[in-house]
Amino acid sequence: MTLPKVFVSGASGTVGSEVAIGIRRAGYTVYGLVRSPEKAKSLVLNEIIPVIGDLKRPETYAEIISRCSIVVHCASDYADYGGVESVALDAFIQGLHNHKDSPHAARLIFTSGILVYKENRSVDEPLSEDAPREGDSDLAFFQARLKNEDFVLNLHKTHQIHGIVVRPGYVFGKAQRHFYHYFDQALEGDVFIRGRGSVAWSKIHIDDLVDGYLRILAAGDDLPGAAALSQVSGEAFNFSDGLVDTNFEIAKAFAALAGYDGPEPREDLSLTSPMADKSVIVSSEKAKRVLGWRVRHQGLLDEAHLYWDLWRTRRAQQ
């Protein structure tokens, strides 16, 4: 079976790079969008074909998308989220309409996140994909993300393209940025939380998240256990390991690994935002049921010593 060609935006980002590498390791031909020749080098070393361009300038990547039947959108430009995404999504759709990679059905996998949901602090009642979202938020970012999610989820009705939305929890492991700043703070002797210590989010190891993308890509293929394309088209999927740790618990555990023995982590409410200062706990039962997806990695705090060693080794190499 010949696998389809895949275009990945944000292929040099912390999430996008791992997604692109994982897709390539699964046997797909992968084109990765990056902004500079320097960033392209790491893609070449991982057998990914670099596309040097800019999401805001479709002419730099539109022709490449016409060679692909799948687009995995991992990039974000928070300075102008709505504007950039609108331009990019239009370009993705036009390219997929023109794709020459028959007979594979065109699909667009859109990376969102669990912060689109309203606050939920209940471990016993985690949010499913149809839970209320932040529709009444006045933040431009939220409004644009919700609009784009809905647009992608309806592509099968409006453009004959299969749209799927991925909503990861906070991603940890490897080069991910979340939570490592507590190691820096511990060495500086002042451990503080950007917001409320009681806030808790669902989380997911990057490798388990990549496995979720791969299962969505495989939908419709004649492979054992693969979901039918009709089961993923127009659907959103949460990806979470089901474990819940508060900001305070994470900060305290990470600081201890770095040898910190000072006062307990303090809250700095001036450094938070309405977007992140809320607890969001989600369920991944749909991904398990439809995709056959399972969590394989232990939780963030269960293997925190590995992330301390990783951070320390990377810092020594800088």
233: which residues sit within 8 A by CB, 6+ positions away?
A: 107, 156, 162, 163, 164
For residues 287 and 174, the answer to whether their CB atoms sit within 8 Å is no
Q: What is the pTM (predicted TM-score) of this model?
A: 0.95
Task: Encode the chain (318 residues) as per-residue pLDDT tens digits.
Answer: 678 999 999 999 999 999 999 999 999 999 999 999 999 999 999 999 999 999 999 999 999 999 999 999 999 876 677 778 889 999 999 999 887 655 568 999 999 999 999 999 888 999 999 999 987 676 777 888 999 999 999 999 988 899 999 999 999 999 888 899 999 999 999 999 999 999 999 999 999 999 999 999 999 887 777 899 999 999 999 999 999 999 999 999 999 999 999 999 999 998 887 777 899 999 999 999 999 999 999 999 999 999 999 999 999 987
188: which residues sit within 8 A by CB, 6+ positions away?
A: none
Cα–Cα distance measured from residue 142 to residue 112, given in angstroms and rounded to the nearest whole number? 10
Cα–Cα distance measured from residue 9 to residue 34, given in angstroms and rounded to the nearest whole number? 7
For residues 251 and 265, the answer to whether their CB atoms sit within 8 Å is yes
Query: What type of residue is 271?
Result: L
**CA distance to 36, 59, 181, per residue, from 177 (Å):** 21, 31, 8
DSSP track, 75-143: ---GGGHHHHHHHHHHHHHHHHHT---TTSPPEEEEE--GGGBPPB--SSS-B-TTS-B-TT---HHHH
- Beta-bridge mates of residue 115: none
State the CB neighbour count (10 A cutoff) for residue 269.
10
**CA distance to 38, 92, 143, per residue, from 147 (Å):** 34, 16, 6
What domains lie within the chain, and their CATH numbers? 5-173+204-242+282-296 (3.40.50.720)
Phi-psi category of residue 285: left, alpha or beta, with phi > 0 → left and psi -120 to 50 → alpha: alpha
Mean pLDDT of the chain, nearest integer: 92
User: What pLDDT digit, counting tens, does each position of 87-110 carry?
Assistant: 999 999 999 988 765 556 899 999
Cα–Cα distance measured from residue 33 to residue 75, given in angstroms and rounded to the nearest whole number? 9
For residues 315 and 264, the answer to whether their CB atoms sit within 8 Å is no
Q: Map 12-61 to HEC letters.
A: CCHHHHHHHHHHHHCCCEEEEEECCHHHHHHHHHCCCEEEECECCEHHHC
